[in-house]
Amino acid sequence: MSPSPSPDDNAIRVGIVEDEGLLRSMLTELVNQNPAMRVVGSAGGVAAARATFRPGMCDIMLMDVELGDGNGVALGVELQREDPGLIITLLSSHDVLELVLSIRDNVPRPWNYLSKRSSVTPEVLYRSIIEAAKGEVILDPELMDRSSPRDGTPMAALSPARLQVLRLVAQGFSNQAVAELLGLSRRSVENHLQAIYRELGISSSEASPRVAAVLQFIQQTARP
Residue 7 placed within a domain = no
Cα separation, 132 vs 128, whole angstroms: 6
User: What mean pLDDT is reported for the chain?
Assistant: 90
**Domain total for the chain?**
2
DSSP string computed for 155-179: GGGS-HHHHHHHHHHHTT--HHHHH
3-state secondary structure of 63: strand
Q: What are phi and psi of 84, to 5 degrees?
A: -60, -20
Q: Answer for the pair 113, 140: CB distance below 8 angstroms, yes or no.
A: yes
Can you give the pTM of this predicted structure? 0.86
3-state secondary structure of 66: strand
Domain end among 125, 140, 155: 140
Mean pLDDT value of segment 96-110: 79
Higher local confidence (pLDDT), 105 or 79: 79
Residues in the chain: 224
Q: What percent of the chain has pLDDT over 90?
A: 71
Q: Answer for the pair 14, 62: CB distance below 8 angstroms, yes or no.
A: yes
Distances (CA, A) of 67 to 46, 48, 70: 7, 11, 5
Q: Looking at the predicted structure, is the pLDDT value of residue 7 above 80? A: no
Q: Looking at the predicted structure, is the pLDDT value of residue 1 above 60? A: no
Residues 165 and 119 grouped into a single domain: no
Grade residue 122 by pLDDT with cuts at 50, 70 and 90: very high
Residue 79 belongs to domain spanning: 12-140
